[in-house]
Amino acid sequence: MRAFFAIIGHPVAHSLSPCFQQAAFDACEIDAAYIPLDLDPARAEDTLFFLKDLAISGFNVTLPFKELAYRKVDHVYGIASKIRSVNTVVAREGLWEGYNTDVPGFKKAYSRFLEKTGYGSGNFIVLGAGGSARAVLEALSSMDVPQIKVVNRSSDRVRVLLEELSRERQISMNSLEDLKSSLDGKDWHVINTLSRNAFPVRGEFPPLEPLDETKVASVFDLSYEREGDTECVSWARRKGIPSSDGLSMLLFQGALSFEIWTGKSAPVRKMAEAMAKALPERKDLPGQFSD
C-alpha cells in the first residue's frame, strides 16, 4: 500500500517541501506520496486527530503548529524534548513520534553561510519567539556565541521562551521599539524567524528599518520567497549586508526528516535539483546548496 506523507501548516501553498520530498521518495524507489495540508488554526487540534485516523505515515510541521505538535505527539525524542518544538512526526505501531530537525538543519545551513561571509564572531539578534526561534537558540548555544538578544512584539512570549530554555549563557530580551538603542558596538548577526506574512507591506521590513546598518554584520532569514528575496533579505541587500534566506535550511532539515521516516540516506543532490527546478527565477540556488 502506498505510504502517505504531508506537511502541515498555515499557510503551506508556497511550501517547496512537496516537490523535493517527492523527488527523494521517487529517487529511492519508495512508493509514497507527499502533499501539503493547510490547517485552520482554530481547528488544528481536531484535524491532527483526524490525520491519525487516516493512518498517515509521517509529516513535517511548519508555522504555526510546531509547539502544538510537541504537545500532541505520543513520544518526543532528541532535541525536540529540550526545546519543546516538533517539526517532524513519524507513525510507528499506531503512535506518533516527534523529532526536531530544524536545529541541525539550521546549524548546517547557518555555519556554511557564516563561512562564506567571512564572519566567525560577533553577537546575535533573533527576531521572533516561536518554535523556529527555539531551534535557532538551541543551535546558537551549541556554537558557543557570546551574546544573544531575542526580540519579539510580545514580551510575555519571550519571557516564557527564556524560562523554558533555562539558558546559562547571556541571552537578553528586547522589544522591537528598543532594539536600535540596545545595540552596542558592531558585528551583530540578525536571524529572522518571524513569519513571512508578519509584515506584508512590500519593500519594507519594519523590525530592521530603524537600525544603523554599520552595526549589522549579516542577515539570515528562515523564510523564503519563490520568485526573489524576502523583505528581510531585501533590506540587507539594499544596505550591502551579506544575507541569505532559508532555502538551504529547508533542504537540510528536510533531508533529515526523510531519513527519520525511511531509515535511508537522503538523496540530497536530487532534492536540491528538484527545488531548483521549481524555482526557475532563483539564479542563486547552486551557491546555496553546494558542498
Q: DSSP for 230-251?
A: -HHHHHHHHHT--EE-SHHHHH
DSSP state of 201: S
> Which range has the worst mean pLDDT, 59-73, 82-96, 157-171, 221-235?
157-171
144 CB contacts (<8 Å, ≥6 apart)? none
> Tell me, what's the pLDDT at 131?
82
Domain 3-101+248-289 and domain 103-246, same fold? Reply is yes
- Residue 143 grid cell: 556554537
> Which range has the worst mean pLDDT, 148-152, 167-171, 172-176?
167-171
Determine which helix (DSSP H) or strand (DSSP E) holds 106, and give its type and residue range: helix 102-117
What are the boundaries of each domain within the chain? 3-101+248-289, 103-246
Homologous superfamily of 3-101+248-289: Leucine Dehydrogenase, chain A, domain 1 (3.40.50.10860)
- Reported as a single tens digit per residue, the pLDDT across 179-190 is 888 788 778 999
Whether residue 270 lies in the annotated active site: no
Residues in the chain: 291
> What type of residue sits at position 282?
R
Q: Which of 66, 72, 107, 149 is catalytic?
A: 66
DSSP state of 210: T
Contact 51, 71 (CB under 8 A): no
- Residue 125 grid cell: 539578534
> Which range has the worst mean pLDDT, 2-6, 120-124, 189-193?
120-124
Q: DSSP for 38-85?
A: E--GGGHHHHHHHHHHTT--EEEE-TT-HHHHHHHSSEE-THHHHHT-
> Tell me, what's the pLDDT at 117?
84
218 CB contacts (<8 Å, ≥6 apart)? 113, 114, 117, 119, 189, 190, 236, 241, 242, 243
> Tell me, what's the pLDDT at 286?
47
Give the largest CA-CA distance in the chain. Answer: 59
Pick from 114, 164, 111: nearest CA to 134: 164
> Tell me, what's the pLDDT at 288?
58
Q: What CATH code would you report for 103-246?
A: 3.40.50.720
Mean pLDDT (whole number) for 72-96 = 95
